[in-house]
Structure 1
Amino acid sequence: MTMKAVSSGDHFEISTSIVVFRPDRMLLARTLTSLVVASAALNRARKEGAVHLYLIDNGGLPDMSESLSELSRARIGHTLLDGHGNVGYGRGHNLAIAQPLGRYHLILNPDIDMDPDALVRAVEFMSTHPEAGLLTPAVFDDAGQLQYLCRQYPSLIDLFVRGFLPASMRHLFARRLARYEMRAQINGRDTLWDPLIVSGCFMLFRSDVLKRLSGFDPRYFLYFEDYDLSLRAHDVARVAYVPSVRVLHHGGGASRKGVAHIRMFVVSAFKFFNRFGWKWL
């Protein structure tokens, strides 16, 4: 795969960055195909609707030549950033954020399928709400159930119950989890302004806001970098949960990914609470 240089003179409506480390090739291919379809809809709706992808390889990227050819046929520019090693999730995205960006920049996970009209609806919302600096969509799981990925400020108990307690025991903490996951406020119909924390699986920023924030805090290797960035985003712009923008998320929690991920989760949680304040109960 070759790297296509991007100059500051290039113009596109949306830039997007996807960080991968030993990704599932089929899931990544699905994500890129959904990007092609959503970009085509944006191009039809807006003459300036060009999209550019930054694919950041932290290691182990399989042969994606077929998917990248699909991007080229759809006139989606793409730049492969590699050779830097596994620098972590946030620092990987920061490599892209340092490049020329579109009017909007989309932080996207490699296990997300966008609805065909997701980018059209997202750009329409941002265009008509200039106070919005960060948009988060309605996220659904493989069974079609809404995922409650907007968050209140977490306590240690919230994190333990949500991330590590067996599902058979979570009903004992149902009211606590409902508060933490904002279940009374989040649904598939109503826009909600200023949820405190939103998921990093799909974060659409105004690029000037993202640049002002200097992207992700590089001190997080994995986990909590989106919590950190969400909280800082409120200092410079408004955040909006927009359920007319819909995506499918195939991801899983840290506890389902093994001991190494649990260790990274704990280390990042410690850094997060040290910065923003500890909340035990």
Structure 2
Amino acid sequence: MNKAAELTISLVVYKPLLEQLSETLQSLALSLSHVSISYHVFIIDNTPENELSAVNQEFLAGFFNPSTFTYIRQKTNIGFGKAHNYTLGLNSKFHLVLNPDLTMSKDALEKSIEYLSKNTNCGLLTPHVTWSDGKVQRLCKKYPSVFILLLRGFAPQSIKRFFKSKLNDYEMVNEIDNHSVYINPPMVSGCFMFFRTDIWNKCAGFDERYFLYFEDFDLSIRVKKFCDIAYVPQVSIIHHGGFAARKGIKHILLFFKSMILFFNIHHWNWFK
């Protein structure tokens, strides 16, 4: 694939909520208007072709010039990582893996480009993120244990409060703040992964054995074989998604399947 753009962006949707997706695309378009380099947006729609999708060329043309985006409709839901991997082999300078359920600040892309341009040892940038209610979402994390993942994802609040110090340690609460750059956190979650494109290509994107969940943890571990990862709080977004347990039994089963795969590929850690 050869799109003549310095910044490429991939965004995967599956039966999207139109209002939420519109907010994401509006913030993306606004942030793109503040960059001085050429760009191309790839929207990969995993909604099965026998089901209605709210997304189409006409809808997307309401946000972007038709020459600056490509819409790909998959026949079936091929998985989050595999869909993003459609953009492997690009010749751009920077590549952003973006979730369809967030709102970025108008200068998020400008500051991401600026940071990677000045810090050539860094190949992946992760931003400062808050939930819709303003609470901080911790994208930087230590290597997980089975216990901490189950505690964080499925335990009631009363149990979580009892293990608050353990959860805080996992989410690096006392090590990462909202104003200081942090180099090489052990892992990062992936609602906004701003790559130097050559690193994205060297890593061969996401491991397609993960259908959903944990592909971002896996990729961030592999990225550090080639370059630094930087948490840059000057890049700011609001994330509206997350929490597999709130999405029903199908997502819970996908979470467990990917968790087992992750530990089998890397190493099992039961409690620490």
**What TM-score bracket applies, with the shorter chain setting the length?**
over 0.9
2:60 aligned with 1:68, yes or no?
yes
The one-letter code of the counterpart of 2:69 is: H
Change (3 A) 1:159 1:184: same
Match of 1:70, SS?
A: coil
**Alignment-derived partner of residue 11 in structure 2:** 18
2:242 aligned with 1:252, yes or no?
yes
**Alignment-derived partner of residue 165 in structure 1:** 155
CA contact (8 A) 1:53 1:76 kept: no
Of the three residues 18, 21, 26, the one matched with 1:33 is: 26
Distance 1:101 1:195 in 2: 28
2:225 aligned with 1:225, yes or no?
no
Distance 1:76 1:184 in 2: 45
CA deviation after TM superposition for structure 1 residue 101, in Å: 4.5
The one-letter code of the counterpart of 1:58 is: N
Match of 1:242, SS?
A: strand
Matches within 5 A, 1:127-142: 127-142=117-132
Aligned length: 267
CA deviation after TM superposition for structure 1 residue 88, in Å: 0.5
Match of 1:94, SS?
A: helix
The one-letter code of the counterpart of 1:72 is: F
Q: Deviations over 1:91-122 (max 9, x none)?
A: 01011224x34211000000011100000100
Of the three residues 45, 58, 61, the one matched with 1:57 is: 45
Of the three residues 133, 143, 155, the one matched with 1:143 is: 133
Is 53-62 or 157-166 further displaced after alignment? Answer: 53-62
TM-score (norm 1): 0.91
Is 270-279 or 159-168 further displaced after alignment? Answer: 159-168
Distance 2:186 2:55 in 1: 38
Distance 2:84 2:69 in 1: 14
Of the three residues 89, 93, 107, the one matched with 2:97 is: 107
Match of 2:213, SS?
A: coil
Matches within 5 A, 1:230-241: 230-241=220-231
Distance 1:102 1:249 in 2: 26
Of the three residues 200, 203, 206, the one matched with 1:213 is: 203
Distance 1:143 1:112 in 2: 13
2:261 aligned with 1:271, yes or no?
yes
* Identical positions, percent: 40
Q: What RMSD over aligned residues (CA atoms) do the two structures have, in Å?
A: 1.5
The one-letter code of the counterpart of 2:83 is: G
CA deviation after TM superposition for structure 1 residue 13, in Å: 2.2
Is 25-34 or 237-246 further displaced after alignment? Answer: 25-34
CA contact (8 A) 2:43 2:71 kept: yes
The one-letter code of the counterpart of 2:224 is: H
Of the three residues 154, 165, 186, the one matched with 1:175 is: 165
TM-score (norm 2): 0.94
Distance 2:28 2:212 in 1: 24
Distance 2:91 2:26 in 1: 21
**Alignment-derived partner of residue 153 in structure 1:** 143
Q: Deviations over 1:43-69 (max 9, x none)?
A: xxx3xx122111001115314556412
CA deviation after TM superposition for structure 1 residue 144, in Å: 1.4
